[in-house]
Amino acid sequence: PLIALRPLLDHAAEHDYGVPAFNVNNMEQIQAILQAAQACDAPVILQASAGARKYAGEPFLRKLVEAAVEQYPATPICLHQDHGASPAVCVQAIRSGFTSVMMDGSLREDQKTPASYDYNVEVTRRVVEIARAVGVSVEGELGCLGSLETGTAGEEDGVGAEGTLDHAQLLTDPEQAADFVARTGVDALAIAIGTSHGAYKFTRQPTGDILAIDRIAAIHAKIPNTHLVMHGSSSVPQEWLAIIRQHGGAIRETYGVPVEEIVRGIRHGVRKINIDTDIRLAMTGAMRKVMAEKPEEFDPRAFLKAATAAARDICRDRFEAFGCAGQA
Ligand code: G3H
Ligand code: 13P
Ligand code: NA
Ligand code: ZN
């Protein structure tokens, strides 16, 4: 069944686990995630960006998730709008049947320019008022995602602020988080702790100076009843990078968020963990491998089957590591 984010994360908080939120754009990704969720007896968050709705088309995305709900009746599924750029985008998601929306007011509507605190409070508060009336949950964001190494949101084709960000913008302030939650009433809050979107997060294995896991506890202490969300949480598996490179891909040296650091974050109060890039890497690696090893193959299902299996295995690993397995 479809469920809202709030009850799902309330259960996660009560039982000390985290729920991965996987980005979806097409049938294969949705099938991979649901296969893993069913196998692990885990609840799941499917999240779609505005870009996903544009890629698949709103009716296709809506119907694909409807099909998942029908085919997996025992799995609790939350359908979440990722990075809603405006109240209008959030309302469109609600009309489309989403049970949860993210109003990302940390950036202006272009999702490139850091917004003022007052703007963020105002747009987020408006979305909470609308969503609450129809039982839909709301995630807000305070602080800007970005690298503490470079002071930027990350690689060019990633999603995030343009230009440079100062240290204060890159780390969510616990006091301000308390004020933000009091003024908006969000169910969940995305925090900035040095992660960024995409494959190029860190130039080396992250340590505490560039991945501020310890800040999570300080924020959680101020807002114990608001569920914390970690964006940019792909681990960027070196095994998949190697497979992609072995088969003609060009991905530079890069490091993601180690799974054990996310697990530490969950112990400090993180309940929702956003993952897109890891599924992209696994699917791309698997497809490149089949194409290289079976040059005579021309049925796209052969590539997509391998991609689906690779994505499923990533999802299963995350459900297990985050303590989400067995919680459906
Ligand atoms: O927020 C970033 C997610 O990875 C979604 O990316 O806008 O390319 O769908 P996208
Ligand atoms: P990754 O790029 O690390 O997978 O992050 C995805 C994300 O935060 C979507 O909102
Ligand atoms: Na989100
Ligand atoms: Zn994100």
Average pLDDT, integer, range 161-166: 91
Q: Give the number of C-alpha atoms closer than 13 A to the C-alpha of residue 193, restricted to the C-beta side.
A: 29
Considering only CA atoms, which residue is closest to atom 1 of ligand 1? 159
Q: DSSP 3-state assignment of 270?
A: strand
Between 162 and 67, residue with greater pLDDT: 67
pTM greater than the 0.95 cutoff: yes
ipTM for the whole predicted complex goes beyond 0.95: yes
Q: Residue 278 CA: which ligand 2 atom is closest?
A: 4
**Averaged over 284-310, what is the pLDDT?**
98
Gap from CA of 137 to ligand 3 centroid (Å): 11
Q: Do 104 and 66 touch, CB atoms closer than 8 A?
A: no
Rounded to an integer, the average pLDDT of 217-232 is 98
Q: How many CA atoms lie within 13 A of 31 on its CB side?
A: 11
Any atom of ligand 1 within 6 Å of the Cβ of 111: no
Domains along the chain? Answer: 5-321 (3.20.20.70)
45 C-alpha to ligand 2 centroid (Å): 13
| Residue whose CA is at the smallest distance from ligand 2 atom 5 | 232
Q: Which residue has the tokens 């709030």?
A: 6
Query: Given this model, what pLDDT does residue 301 score?
Result: 98
Q: What is the pLDDT of residues 82-112, one digit of tens each?
A: 999 999 999 999 999 999 999 999 999 999 9
Angstrom distance (rounded) from CA 240 to CA 312: 14
How far is 240 from 139, CA to CA, in rounded Å?
A: 31
- d(Cα 297, Cα 25) in Å, to the nearest integer? 25
Ligand 1 site-directed mutation target among 101, 197, 231, 275, most atoms within 8 Å of CB: 197
As to burial, measured by CB atoms within 10 angstroms (0-12 exposed, 13-18 middle, 19+ buried), residue 183 is middle
Calpha distance 85→105 (Å, rounded): 7
State the residue for tokens 């650091």.
261
Specify the 3-state DSSP secondary structure of 326: coil
pLDDT at 73: 98
Residues in the chain: 328
Q: What does residue 256 show for φ and ψ, rounded to 5 degrees?
A: -110, -160
Q: Which residues pair with 78 in a beta bridge?
A: 45
Please tell me the residue having the least CA distance from ligand 1 atom 7.
Answer: 51
Per the residue annotation, which of 10, 16, 41, 82 is the catalytic one?
82
Model confidence pLDDT, tens digit, residues 19-64: 999 999 999 999 999 999 999 999 999 999 999 999 999 999 999 9
In short, whether 233's Cβ falls inside 6 Å of ligand 1 is no
Among this protein's residues, is 313 annotated catalytic?
A: no
- The Cα 23–Cα 218 span in angstroms is 28
Given phi > 0 = left and psi -120 to 50 = alpha, else beta, which region is 274? beta
Between the CA atoms of 86, 120, 195 and 223, what dihedral angle is there, to the nearest 10 degrees? -120
Ligand closest to the CA atom of residue 154: 2
What lies within 8 Å, CB to CB, of 181 at 6+ separation is: 189, 223, 226
232 annotated to a ligand binding site: yes
Q: What's the CA gap between 48 and 28, in Å, rounded?
A: 14
